[in-house]
Amino acid sequence: MNLKTIEYTNGTLRIIDQTLLPNRLKLITIDSLNKSIEAIKMLRVRGAPAIGIVAAYTILLESKKLFLKQKLNNRSFNQICDKLRASRPTAVNLAWAVKKLSDCYYENSNLINHMLIKNLEKCAISIHQNDEQSCSAIGHYGAQLFKNYKNIITHCNAGILATGGNGTALSVIYETAKQNQDIHVYVDETRPLGQGARLTYYELNNNNIACTLLTDNSAGSLFTAGKIDAVIVGADRIAANGDTANKIGTFPLAVLAYAHDIPFYVAAPASSFDLSINSGKLIPIEMRPEKEVLSFWGISKNAKYNVYNPAFDITDSKYITAIITEYGILEKPFNKNITKLIHS
Ligand code: MRU
């Protein structure tokens, strides 16, 4: 499948509108800061690396617009960065990408000219290209671990649709499938927004990977039936001790794996690590609107419900067998090995 989640050509930024999948594959143009923020908040583009890449291109395009109107200055530049950073709080790739563009701006800001815009463009493109390469490297390292597994379970979507390349968790599946034709993936539907049902199933199916969709609360019965060989998920933010934020519902899957002595793997690029925090307890968790929970059931807008709708949960590192990165496989003790690998 030749999917390109994010396209930047001749100064135009386009993304797949993921809210329409799997029924409709439609590209939309992101040509303003407001459109970009709306797309990130509404999950038209989603997945930690993908939102970082879109934020980087948005800073470039918005800076270019202001520059042409002679309105680009430190204040207007910072405003763009602040608004993008605040659009989704959990995935650290977003803040990471904003910082990269901001560092580039301030290294060149003594001369606000075409060169500055050129350098911002180079920086955004390199974030996109490096993510593509990281995805391939994650697939390569992960396939060494997965070659003997048959039945894998995954949660949410950490694939092509979430990154600038082949994905993180799903890149491992795609690489493994090249050597191990027997691989089969159980796909958690991932309530409330159905990233598993709508996106992961679509991606895997289109890439000829055998897969089966299940409701999130069916996973336990597969473990007790001995039908799961390994779990693999992506990450939105990994603390220095290995605690991992990922889509809500990841943590129960990790506990199930632990209780059944099944390996639980996280696949993520270095841009998803936040070494400034030493515990998952410090990761901000995005709360989402109640309508995401209620609308699925067609409950009337006038009905009064109290709703709890966090977008992510934290998996304590004790439940994680290893973390697959573009630099190699991180094993325990995570505290020591993360710092060594990510900084080396
Ligand atoms: O709310 P979403 O769809 O952006 O959540 C995405 C996830 O939780 C992914 O697993 C994570 O970002 C990793 S994507 C490589």
Q: Which amino acid is residue 12, in one-letter code?
A: T
Catalytic, 17? Answer: no
Find the residues whose C-beta lies inside 6 A of ligand 1.
43, 46-49, 91, 156, 158, 162-163, 168, 195, 233-236, 246-247, 311
Respond yes or no on whether the N-terminal peptide bond of residue 289 is cis (omega within 30° of 0). no
Residue 2 has pLDDT above 80, yes or no: no
Q: Give the three-state DSSP class for 11.
A: coil
List, for residues 31-50, the tens digit of each pLDDT value.
999 999 999 999 999 999 99
Exposure string over 218-230, b if 16+ CB within 10 A, otherwise e: ebeebbeeeebbb
What's the gap in Å between 303 CA and the centre of ligand 1?
A: 30
Q: What is the mean pLDDT of residues 312-332?
A: 97
Other C-beta atoms closer than 10 Å to the C-beta of 179 total: 11
Query: pLDDT digit string (tens) for 238-293?
Result: 999 999 999 999 999 999 999 999 999 999 999 999 999 999 999 999 999 999 99
**What DSSP letter does each residue of 239-308 carry, written as one string?**
ETT--EEEETTHHHHHHHHHHTT--EEEE--GGGEETT-SSGGGS---B--THHHHGGGT--TTS-----
pLDDT at 295: 87
What does the pLDDT average to over 211-225?
98
Per-residue pLDDT, averaged over 156-175, amounts to 98
- What is the edge-to-edge ordering of all strands in the sheet holding 27-29? 6-9, 12-16, 27-29
Q: Ligand 1 centre from 40 Cα, in Å?
A: 12
Give the number of the atom of ligand 1 that is nearest the alpha carbon of residue 312.
8
Residue 111 has what pLDDT? 80
In the predicted structure, residue 339 carries a pLDDT above the cut 90? no
Over residues 96-110, mean pLDDT: 94
Helix extents (H) in the chain: 33-41, 48-68, 74-87, 92-108, 114-146, 169-179, 201-206, 219-224, 250-259, 291-294, 334-343
The DSSP 8-state label assigned to residue 20 in this structure reads S
Question: What pTM does this model have?
Answer: 0.97
Question: Which residue among 156, 174, 244 is best mutated to probe the pocket of ligand 1, counting the most ligand atoms within 8 A of its Cβ?
Answer: 156
CA dist., res. 337 & res. 87, Å (int): 31
Nearest CA to ligand 1 atom 6: 47
Is residue 235 within 8 Å of 301, Cβ to Cβ?
no
pLDDT at 320: 98
Pocket test for ligand 1, best of 5, 246, 313, 315 (most atoms within 8 A of CB): 246
Host H or E run for residue 186 = strand 184-188
Work out the percent of the chain whose per-residue pLDDT is above 90: 92
Q: How far is the CA of 111 from the centre of ligand 1 (A)?
A: 38
Q: Which of 16, 189, 195, 238 to mutate to test the pocket of ligand 1 (most atoms within 8 A of CB)?
A: 195
